[in-house]
Amino acid sequence: MSGPYLWTAGQRVNPNTESKFVWKLNIGEGVKNCPMSYKHWDKPLNQPDWSGGSARRESCLNLWPKNDYTWNDAPCSAKICFVCENRPADDC
């Protein structure tokens, strides 16, 4: 991947398919899938696009700072920085 990207907690429900994205939150006893009530996908680049299909598995969500922090789907194996989260409770 080129350019400065940042990982978020957004991931596909099923990382092996073009399923919907949710916030995957670690709650100590496992992972909780929380629905996305806000979305900021990069519309000019037609994101999420599942580019490369199941061979690349674009199953994780990242921010693209140089594109006004719009969202992009990318392979979870990409080596980029991440954004930390802080929640007062384990609720979605």
Which residue is it, tokens 């392979």? 75
Give the largest CA-CA distance in the chain.
Answer: 39
Radius of gyration of the chain (CA): 13
pTM of the predicted structure, to 2 decimals = 0.84
- CATH code for 6-82? 3.10.100.10
pLDDT (tens digit per residue) in 4-14 = 789 999 999 99
20 Cβ contact partners less than 8 Å away, ≥ 6 residues apart: 12, 13
pLDDT (tens digit per residue) in 51-78 = 877 778 899 999 988 889 999 999 999 9
Domain boundaries, the chain: 6-82
